[in-house]
Structure 1
């Protein structure tokens, strides 16, 4: 006559989720229930906080007995065996990247070459969001014949606390992510040379982080001017002089 004592943990092997029992054979509540499924291992932790979740879904396939779902959590790896084509992933965190993979199987074995997918959750709406990217005013992207006395100018962005500027030539930073505060322009006349292509970037930021999706812009400076000599003027004889003496000897 065997019984599991009240308060002890128990594991019930199976293919349906959840696989773990919540009571022992005498219907006493079990503490520390952990669902490890048929292909799982000790140490897997089911994510806490069930109020935040994502329902993962995948397409059904033929000739399948079930699916092994693997989810890469921030600190652990969750593996679940199921016959469904969806799974409620609880305890997800904001602004976090997750990986997941589904491996169909049947009595002959598992599917091969199953890819791993990734997704990233949204930023916590209660904590605010970074600003949006800005756009160039002067010079505009891919502009040519830009004067050496130009200033860089960009548009204001809502909710931005400031802007950081970078300027490169041939991969070398001339201005390296410099914080210009709330300014929307800066004079770069001392940094430019004729007939060169420059790359620049402006990153708006606030207390919630940097703008996402910021892109680089390019411009090409004007060619070096061609300076021809000026015409000269006669000193002697002057134009139109008469009776100009002839020197002999």
Structure 2
């Protein structure tokens, strides 16, 4: 059954901001309406060259790409600038005068091709006066300890089409750089480092076809002692331009050897720092919680040290995940995912030669897939149901997925794991080694093949143990059971204990425990016939110790009321047919 978002993520949908981001048309069709210009309106004349361009917001569009040109669809002024979700843009150096300007807005999407809208246009006014001076120059006026390798930047002056820059060590001085035309740019990088620990005067003079700004004052800053600036860094995770980034990712960037720290800013447009503003980090990673889905983010990282911060570092971008999460739930403070939770085991054991043995999924999900992995890691699909038949050992992949619908799009959220299949079989008992210790027995069970077996004594239902050894068990016949732990079968064997030689016990234990306390002839079980008339018992020196009749309980191991020591003793039995039988036995205490 296909699921809706509100079934699986009620906590997330209770958050208004997330609700709007998630359900406001994430998945857009090609029929999406393009935005109209708001300022200047399409066809407007006499537009100021420093105008800010704005357009309608469009529900469900995660971002906009802007191009400006002097022909329809052209980009000779600005080539495909991604402005994120912003709905306005101000050209940094203004627009050319008396020119029809064409703006082409492209709708940016994560999961379908972008939509290029028809161009709209307006015409700029002619310049009527010289530009005013730039109001801000960087490094800032009266700044101290500025790195000698700094570049110099300034803000745009309205109606300027170019700029002269001069640099000196005195007010309005030109000792370092005579007035130089840098065209319509807003920065200048001196060809050599500035002198150390020196007052540096910078004069920026905007100009246009009418003339130059008059009497622009110098800005002054003081350079620091000689030092080496750090180089710029770049993102490791996510990579520049990466899409489908988690909503709560760990941001990681390359370390710069001589950097003391890193100044990081993140925004939803190239001109904003509304997510993270100039945060200082002394490591090369940080966890970010609760990015909005379906947004492009712009990140700037400037390494710094005692000499200052890196110069000219470029901005990088990434886009957040669509679909399965994880999503940050501000109510619970937890990350929520739509992928099924897996309880499937790491190892499965199947029984040899059991063709009906099926492996079944252990989880609730809308669908399943099973794959076989070969030695090179290649996958072969075995089944697309909740069951799979596997008859050989190896590595396999188990995948469970749920199906969701949102904005007329169906997609899967899947979880998978690799598991190992082992083959087991019914055990076969090869031998039960019996060791007699005192009046107790010890067993050691061996099987024809090694397996994942467990062992029990006298009861097929157990209890079972992992060890194949049993110790200190009674002197009598016992049955041993060997069971395969995977349920592939149980083997059993009766261990018959032969304690006699021709009916004469080979030991006895007169310790008063009621077991084997007397030594006596035992008639054969198969006949039950007592063919012995009398038995004589001797010590190792041949001295007669006792005379035993076969119809008595037997010899107690005593002589004249005193217990004899552990040792070997001899017997002579006279059969009813006058045949003499001789042998020996052990007395154990």
**Structure (1 or 2) with the greater strand fraction:** 2
Same fold (TM over 0.5): no
The structure with the larger Rg is 2
TM-score by structure 2 length? 0.20
TM-score by structure 1 length? 0.45
Q: Which has the higher contact order (CA 8 A, sep 6+)?
A: 1
